[in-house]
């Protein structure tokens, strides 16, 4: 029997959760080399209390675990996507509050995804302009041509 309601398939993606070690073993320099972040940025994020579980050695050197690295990657991504330090701090606080904040945290992540998609779209548009300009210059160099698109020479040529 056919009903007037469309059938909805529920798709559940299987996610694999990786358990990250909480053993502190990496210095700021190590993390900087691993992630390509500046040492200053790493220290700044820690000073702003955005990395809640960073340990210190007996000589007060920051020591990061694999678990801390995941926090740092998230913080850096949120910052890159344009989220303010204040809002990232709020997101971290919500994470620490537990599962009752999942919906609010998800909204933040969904919004930042849209923002990054827009940035990626704009970057791709700009990349296309650069590629066309690159092809133009490659042709000029190969053919030893004259740059007729140069705005400073516009008055010298009949275009």
**What pLDDT is stored for residue 83 in this prediction?**
94
Q: For residues 157 and 76, give the distance between their C-alpha atoms in angstroms, rounded to a whole number.
A: 49
Share of the chain above pLDDT 90, in %: 74
Q: Per-residue pLDDT for the chain (159 aa), expressed as one digit of tens each? A: 445 544 444 444 555 667 788 898 999 999 999 999 999 999 999 999 999 999 999 999 999 999 999 999 999 999 999 999 999 999 999 999 999 999 999 999 999 999 999 999 999 999 999 999 999 999 999 988 888 877 776 555 554
Q: Which domains does the chain have, with CATH numbers?
A: 28-97 (1.10.1660.10), 118-156 (no CATH)
Share of the chain above pLDDT 70, in %: 85
What three-state secondary structure class fits 92? helix
């Amino acid at each position: 029997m056919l009903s007037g309601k469309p059938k909805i398939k529920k798709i559940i993606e299987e996610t694999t959760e990786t358990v990250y070690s909480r053993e502190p073993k990496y210095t700021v320099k190590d993390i900087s080399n691993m992630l390509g972040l500046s040492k200053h940025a790493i220290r700044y994020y820690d000073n702003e209390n955005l990395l809640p579980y960073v340990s210190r050695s007996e000589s007060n050197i920051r020591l990061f675990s694999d678990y801390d690295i995941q926090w740092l990657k998230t913080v850096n991504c949120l910052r890159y996507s344009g989220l303010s330090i204040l809002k990232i701090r709020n997101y971290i606080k919500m994470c620490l509050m537990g599962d009752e904040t999942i919906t609010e945290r998800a909204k933040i992540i969904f919004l930042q995804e849209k923002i990054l998609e827009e940035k990626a779209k704009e970057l791709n548009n700009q990349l296309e302009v650069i590629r066309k300009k690159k092809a133009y210059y490659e042709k000029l160099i190969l053919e030893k041509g004259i740059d007729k698109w140069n705005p400073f020479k516009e008055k010298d040529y009949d275009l």
